[in-house]
Amino acid sequence: MKVNLAYLHRLKKLCQGSAEAVDWLEEDKRSWSLFCLAWVLGGFFIYGFAVGVWRAPLQGFYGVIKTPVLMVVTSLGTAMANWMLASLLGISLSLRQSLLVQFMGYVVLVTILMSLIPLGLFLDGCAPSALGKDAWTGYVAVSLFQVVGIAGAGVVAHVRLFQLILYLCRDRSVARWVLLVWMANNLFLGSHFSWYLRPFMGNPTKPVEFFHGNAWHAGSFYSGLTGALSRLKY
């Protein structure tokens, strides 16, 4: 119990961007890594259901399964890329530490997203139903809320880790560039993996499916976003 309370205190400090996170990165304890992983998975379970339920309750349950998978795939890809970048810059960062940094960033990310769930559910209730004639309007509105919410939470999560990155780089200008590159890696990989896995939403004109067979041939995240914006305009 004392360990759990201590880690909840760490969670508060992490969301505040405290420099104490440096000490947690250096310590050789699996319990902190497991706590971060459990917090992130639990948060994405809840968030995946909350944002998928607009389409249908079944889509919400699919989101419970697919959203944590999206998190794991993205974190592994970005941790590897960030570790290689750190090696090129001469930053002393092991692959385990790089993965832990990703987990700590996702802790902040999912905490912010969970705080947005009431607003998201309110939007689900106000947006046109997925079964109505204005289903596409509701689909675009809810989808854009997700994109803006996740992207904004991701930016805040990276900024909260700046003190940790500064400690690793020892140089503020280098730390800023590393922060921007790490942020770009997460946004790029996360957006594309989410486009292919489709964990949150479902096309209102098609049946609810766990995995769309044409996901790999339906353009990219950016083409989908511009298409959604054009539908909202007209």
User: For position 169, what pLDDT does the model report?
Assistant: 78
Give the mean pLDDT of 138-153: 82
84/99 Cα distance (integer angstroms): 12
pLDDT surpasses 60 at 234? no
CB 164 within 8 A of CB 175: no
Give the mean pLDDT of 189-198: 73
**Can you give the pTM of this predicted structure?**
0.81
185/181 Cα distance (integer angstroms): 6
Give the mean pLDDT of 214-233: 59
Residue indicated by tokens 């310590």: 27
198/62 Cα distance (integer angstroms): 10
Give the mean pLDDT of 144-167: 84
**Over the stretch 157-189, which tens digit does the pLDDT of each residue have?**
888 888 788 877 777 888 888 888 888 888 887
* Distance (Å) of CA 170 to CA 166, 167, 173, 174, 178: 6, 5, 9, 8, 12
CB 54 within 8 A of CB 196: no
SS3 of 180-207: the string is HHHHHHHHHHHHHHHHHHCCCCCCCCCC
DSSP letters along 138-178, please? HHHHHHHHHHHHHHHHHHHHHHHTHHHHHHHHS-HHHHHHH
CB 81 within 8 A of CB 95: no
| 153: its two tokens | 């939470």
> Which residues, other chains included, contact 9 with Cβ-Cβ below 8 Å and sequence gap of 6+?
none
Question: Where are the domains positioned within the chain?
Answer: 2-233
Q: Most confidently modeled of 105-114, 185-194, 213-222?
A: 105-114
3-state class (DSSP) for residue 224: helix
The count of other CB atoms within 10 Å of the CB of residue 186 is 25
